[in-house]
Amino acid sequence: MSVLNLEKTCPNTSARAGKLQTRHGIVETPVFCPVGSQATVKTLTAEEVKSLGFNMILCNNYHLYLRPGIETVAELGGLHRFMKWDGAILTDSGGYQVFSLSPLIELSDEGVVFRSHLDGSRHFITPESATLFQEKLGADVIMVLDECVHIDADYTKVERAMERTHLWAKRCLDAHKIPEQSLFAIVQGGVFSDLRRRSAEYLTSLDFPGYALGGLSLGEAKEITYSIVDETVSLLPKDKPRYLMGVGAPEDIVEGVARGIDIFDCVLPTRVARNGALFTRSGRINITNSGYGRKDEPVDPSCDCYTCKNHSAAYVHHLFDAKELLAYRLATIHNLRFMRNLMSDIRKSILDGTFASFKADFLNNYKPTNEEVRIEQKKKWIEVRHPKEG
């Protein structure tokens, strides 16, 4: 079972540093997990991900269930051997992917019927099977099956989904047979504070080894996200890991750490990298802009990644312009190294007792993407994959 040993909590904030013990080594927290949904962090080998400084990644039960199949991975020695990764692995149950990717779902207390986004084939997953699948994959941390609803869902629907999530969480806990794996619960309740409180209180009564906050960063304003995190974290055990699912913008990670979050994951750094958006300490830049076409210096002169140490911004710009595959690799390497360096600096500041000043300096210098544009893009992305009822 994964155990979190807290080392220090920073004065004036809820930021904390610890060490998460797993079957595949110790993970220092706070930690950001690159996403390798289909047993690969896109464009990179496992060795390259490790060389960037990561020792914990996320893979996805839904995607691996559809291909190559859970039994195939199990027969080939489990997920670690299959993808040649010797660090820790966290697997998502697939509840969010069913919500966001399946063109049609049928929900009941028994489980969820969904159609594959790949070929339209029909599938049925229960809390018990979702748990069994993740056990067969051999992950270090696995998640309960939960119901995630549309950001604009009304109170009644969110409450119903939360209650079903509670029912499924208990069934996952009862079905869980491998104590060396940690099964985390997922607190739901949308943007409704009273539902979040009820969810946290019920799930903590079941004494899971860790707790995640789900159903956030789905298109709500950041201040709402931060408020919900604040209220929910205060209800969770101090001696157990706290995981904010699907959050990976640099400013959100800093804010999440300040509120006591230990674990983050998100496709954002790798997804935007493939579209030419590169992180710097002053904010994202778009390397495809013409102004970088003759810039004979690194994307970020202060960055120690392979891309910045070996190539000019002009070269990376050229690769994107020519649609060369190397462009996506170099951009991904840069963004993931940025995230690793950010987490290292955050952890060091917590241990030094200077996190509050680090946070203020970082947020003062980092320019996030436009909030209104971000919310609109996220809502459109979700709406295309999961139209509202009615």
| In contact, 261 and 243? CB cutoff 8 Å | yes
Give the residue carrying structure tokens 């996190």.
355
CA gap 157, 188 in Å, rounded: 12
Contacts of 144 (CB under 8 A, 6+ apart): 93, 127, 130, 131, 165, 168, 169, 172, 173, 183, 184, 185, 186
| In contact, 311 and 319? CB cutoff 8 Å | no
- Spell out a b/e string for 74-83, using b for 16 or more CB atoms within 10 Å of the CB, else e: beeebbbebb
Q: Read off the DSSP letter of residue 332.
A: H
Write out the H or E segment, with its range, that includes residue 62.
helix 61-66
| In contact, 150 and 382? CB cutoff 8 Å | yes
SS3 72: helix
Integer CA distances (angstroms), 366 to 16, 249, 250, 348, in order: 22, 11, 9, 19
Q: Which of 140, 252, 265, 300 is catalytic?
A: 265
CA gap 337, 286 in Å, rounded: 17
Q: Which of 92, 140, 146, 252 is catalytic?
A: 92
- Residue 265 designated active-site: yes
- Spell out a b/e string for 118-148, using b for 16 or more CB atoms within 10 Å of the CB, else e: eeeeebebbbbbbbbbbbbbbbbbbbbbbbb
Helix ranges (H only) for 95-189 are: 95-101, 127-137, 155-175
Pairing between β-strand 263-266 and β-strand 31-34 as defined by DSSP bridges? parallel
CA gap 306, 294 in Å, rounded: 20
Phi-psi region of 128 (alpha: psi -120 to 50; beta: other; left: phi over 0): alpha
Which residues have a catalytic role annotated?
A: 92, 265
